[in-house]
Amino acid sequence: MKKVTLTFILFLFLFKVLSISAQFTKIHDFDGTTEGGYPYSNLFFDGTYLYGVTPLGGLYGNGTIFKVKPNGTDFTKIFDFNATVSGNHAYATLISDGTFLYGTTKGDEGINSHGTVYKIKPDGSEFTTLLNFNGTNGSTPWSGLILIGDFLYGMTNYGGTDGTIYKIKTDGSNFENLFNFSETASGRFPYGELIYDGTYLYGTTAAGGLFYSGTVFKILPNGTGYTKLVDFSNAPNGNCPYGSLLFDGTFLYGTTGTGGVNDIGSIFKVKPDGSEFQQLFSFSGNNGQQPMDNLVQLGEYIYGMTSFGGSNNFGTVFRIKPDGSNFSKLIDFDDTTNGSYPRRSLISDGTSLYGMTSSGGDHHWGVVFKISGESLANQEINIEPNSTIYPNPSNGLFTIENRFSSNMQIEVYTILGELIKEQSSSNQQTIIDLTNQSAGVYIVKIHCDDDKLINEKIIIK
C-alpha cells in the first residue's frame, strides 16, 4: 500500500472528514497535458491495474487511455485519442473480455463527430474503431458498454429519435439499433450504462417520460419487451437520473441528479417489476448535492459520490444502508488536497473503494484515489485457511472448498456492486460457473450458517 506522510494539520482534516476511520490515499494527480485530464469515467480493475480514460489532454488534446496500479505506481498512458483518426472525448468506462478493452468516444469534431465504439489491448496495441456513429444509428455515446456473450450493448445520448440502445459484436460486425427512445413514451437522453440480470437489461434516461423528468426502464436484449418502470416527476420526487443502476437481487438502486425534498438530488430504489418505489434519501447540500452516477455495494452499505455540495461545495463521498437508514458523509472533497467535482462512480475490490475526481489535485486536472479502512466492509473478513477458492484467476470456473461442511449462501458481485449470481450449498466442494461473464474482478460473498460473512476477490481472465 502506498504510504502517505501527513502533517498534523492534514491529520486533523482527515480525522474530521473520514467519519468511519477510512483512509484516503491519492493515487495519481493528472497533469492535464501529456497524461490527460478532467476524467469523467469510472475505473476498471483487472486484478493488477486500474484503467480509465480522460476526455482532454494527451498528445492531441483529445483525451487519453491510462492504467495505474492500486498503490499508485506504474502510471502509464497507453493511448492518445486523435479526433481525425480515432475519435475524441472519451467519457465512458472501459470493460474487458480478457483480451481487449472496449469503450466509446463521445465525438464532437473530426470524422467521428457523432462518436465511436473502439477496442484496444491493455498494452496500448491494436487500437481498432469498431463503429462510427452517424446520427441516424445513434450519436454521442456518453455511456459505456456491457458484454453479453460476444455482443457489446450500449446506449447513445442522441441520435435515432431521442437516443438509442444498440448492440454490436466484439469484432465490429452485426451492429443493430435495438431501440429508439421517444420523449414521453420511453424517455430520452440516457447517460448511464445498462445492467443485466440474466433476462432483462435495465437503465435510466435523464429526461423524457410522462413528466419530462427521466425514467427507469427494462428491455430484453433482442430489443423487445420495453417496459417503463418509473416516471420521475419534479421535487419532492426525484428527477433527472444521470447514472446507472445497482441491483442486489431484490431491488434496483439509483440516484437522481436533481429532485428530492430540496431539489438537489436523491437516492431511490424500486423492484424490477416497477413496484415498491421508495425515495430513500434527499440530499441537503452540506451532505452532498447532485449525484451523477451509480452506487456501489460493499458489506452492509451502499456507497456513492455527489458532484457538488459538502462543507467545501466540491462534492462528497457517502454511504447509506439499503433500507435508507444510517446515512453518513465520509469525505468532503477540498479541491487541492484530495480533488474536486467527482462526476462518476466508485468501484470496489471487495475491501477498498477507488474513484476519480474531474478536477482538483496538485495540477487541478483531477485525481485517482483510494479509500480503505477496516470499517468500510463492516463484518466482512477474508477467507480463512479452512476455506479456499481456486483456481484464481480462472477462465470463469471456480471451486469453493471447505474443510468442514457448512450451509452457505453464495453471492457474486461485479466491482460496481451488481449482484450477478446466487446459489446455496452445503457441500465441501462447490463449483461456481461464471464462464458467461466478461473478464475482470468480481467479489464472492459467502454467508455461513454461523453468521460469518466471508468476502473474497476473484479474477476472470
Cell output for 338: 484530495
Please, what is the Cα angle at 371 between 101 and 106, to 5 degrees? 35
Q: What is the mean pLDDT of residues 419-430?
A: 85
**At residue 156, what is the residue type?**
T
CA distance 344 to 42: 6
Q: Does the pLDDT value for residue 6 go beyond 80? A: no
pLDDT > 90 fraction of the chain, expressed in percent and rounded: 71
Residue 259 backbone dihedrals phi, psi, to 5 degrees: 80, -165
Query: E strands of 232-352, at which residues?
Result: 238-239, 246-247, 252-256, 258-259, 266-270, 278-282, 296-298, 301-306, 316-320, 328-332, 347-348
Any idea what DSSP says for residue 273?
A: T
pLDDT value at 404 more than 70: no
Q: Do 204 and 229 touch, CB atoms closer than 8 A?
A: no
Given pLDDT bands bounded at 50, 70 and 90, which one contains residue 386?
A: low
Whole-number pLDDT of residue 29: 97
**Cβ atoms of residues 396 and 374 within 8 Å:** no
- Ranking 8-22, 130-144, 304-318 by mean pLDDT, the lowest is 8-22
pLDDT at 379: 43
The residue assigned the cell 485517482 is: 368
Mean pLDDT over the full length of the chain: 89
Q: Please name the helix (run of DSSP H) or strand (run of DSSP E) that holds residue 422, with its range, or none.
A: strand 419-425
What pLDDT score does 402 carry? Answer: 72
Look up residue 33 and give its three cell numbers.
Answer: 497535458
In this model, does residue 19 exceed pLDDT 80? no
Over the stretch 320-329, which tens digit does the pLDDT of each residue have?
A: 999 999 999 9
pLDDT of residue 9: 31
| CA gap 79, 123 in Å, rounded | 9
The pLDDT score that the predictor gives to residue 235 is 87
Assess whether pLDDT exceeds 90 at residue 377. Answer: no
Query: Cβ of 9: how many Cβ atoms within 10 Å?
Result: 8
Q: What's the confidence (pLDDT) of residue 69?
A: 97
The per-residue pLDDT for 14 is 34
Q: Output phi, psi for 11, to 5 deg.
A: -60, -45
Best CA proximity match to 219, nearest among 172, 254, 187: 187
447 pLDDT higher than 70: yes
Mean pLDDT along residues 271-288? 97
Give 155-165 pLDDT, tens digit per residue.
999 999 999 99
Query: Worst-scoring range by mean pLDDT, 170-174, 207-211, 438-442?
Result: 438-442
The pair phi, psi for residue 101, each rounded to 5°, is -95, 145
The pLDDT value recorded for residue 45 is 96
Rounded Cα gap, residues 226 and 395, in angstroms: 33
Indicate the length of the chain as a whole number: 461
- The C-alpha cell 486536472 sits at 365
Q: Cell numbers 496495441 label which residue?
A: 125
pLDDT digits (tens, 9 = 90+) for 56-108: 999 999 999 999 999 999 999 999 999 989 988 999 999 999 999 999 999 87
In tens, the pLDDT along 249-264 reads 999 999 999 999 999 9
Dihedral class, residue 115 (left if φ above 0, else alpha if ψ from -120 to 50, else beta)? left
pLDDT, tens digit (0-9, with 9 covering 90-100), for 212-246: 999 999 999 999 999 999 999 988 989 999 999 99
Query: Cβ–Cβ contacts within 10 Å for residue 134, how many?
Result: 13
Tell me what pLDDT residue 427 has: 81
Give the pairing of strands 176-180 and 164-169: antiparallel
Count the neighbouring beta carbons within 10 Å of the beta carbon of residue 197.
15
Bridge pairing between strands 367-372 and 381-382: unpaired
pLDDT of 234 reads 85
What the chain holds in terms of domains, given with CATH numbers, is: 8-372 (2.120.10.60), 381-460 (2.60.40.3080)
User: Confidence class of residue 193 from pLDDT cuts 50, 70 and 90?
Assistant: very high
Asked if residues 181 and 160 have their Cβ atoms less than 8 Å apart, the reply is yes
Q: How far is CA 24 from CA 247, 307, 318, 330, in A?
A: 27, 18, 13, 10
**pLDDT score of 136 more than 70:** yes
Between 353 and 428, the more confident residue is 353
pLDDT of residue 8: 28
